[in-house]
């Protein structure tokens, strides 16, 4: 299955800003995963580097891992089990009066928490 994830120009810019701030090498992939959420069953996890080993809170963070080219020279690593919950995700970044944050526009979410960091999947959670 082809995996489709898109980024807005502001998300691309924020990722590059964070890459420089954190000293992450150019070309280093970004791990996009799911963990148990606080307000909804699943929460997004985004960090430079490999997917972390599986834990009780993130049992799907294991192989096989898909490499998804999201444009702008950026590759996301996504565990196969998470793909049904992340397919066609659009990642945006926006600033407001209390600061900036990534905004996840996920067509697989049946409900989203108030801050947008966790969601109720339309399909059963892994
Ligand atoms: S995780 Fe609680 S409001 Fe978003």
Residues listed for the chain: 126
**Which residue's alpha carbon is at the smallest distance from atom 4 of ligand 1?**
115
Pocket residues for ligand 1 (CB within 6 Å)? 37-39, 113-115, 117-118
Nearest ligand 1 atom, CA 116: 4
Rg of the chain over all Cα atoms, to the nearest angstrom: 14
Cα(65)–Cα(72) distance, integer angstroms: 20
- Domains of the chain (ranges plus CATH)? 5-121 (2.60.300.12)
Nearest ligand 1 atom, CA 117: 4
pLDDT tens for the 126 residues of the chain, in order: 789 999 999 999 999 999 999 999 999 999 999 999 889 999 999 999 988 776 666 655 555 789 999 999 999 999 998 999 999 999 999 998 888 999 999 999 999 999 999 999 997 655
Strands in 80-117 per DSSP E: 89-96, 99-105, 109-112
């Amino acid at each position: 299955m082809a995996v489709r994830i898109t980024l807005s120009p502001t998300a691309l810019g924020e990722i590059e800003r964070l890459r420089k701030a954190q000293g992450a090498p150019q070309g280093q992939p970004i791990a996009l995963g799911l963990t148990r959420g606080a307000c909804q069953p699943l929460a997004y996890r985004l960090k430079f580097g490999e997917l972390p080993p599986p834990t009780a809170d993130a049992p799907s963070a294991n192989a096989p891992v898909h490499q998804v080219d999201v444009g702008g020279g950026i590759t996301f690593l996504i565990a196969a089990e998470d793909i049904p919950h992340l397919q066609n995700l659009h990642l945006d970044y926006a600033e407001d009066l209390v600061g900036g944050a990534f905004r996840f526009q996920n067509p697989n979410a049946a409900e989203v928490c108030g801050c947008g960091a966790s969601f109720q999947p339309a399909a059963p959670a892994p």
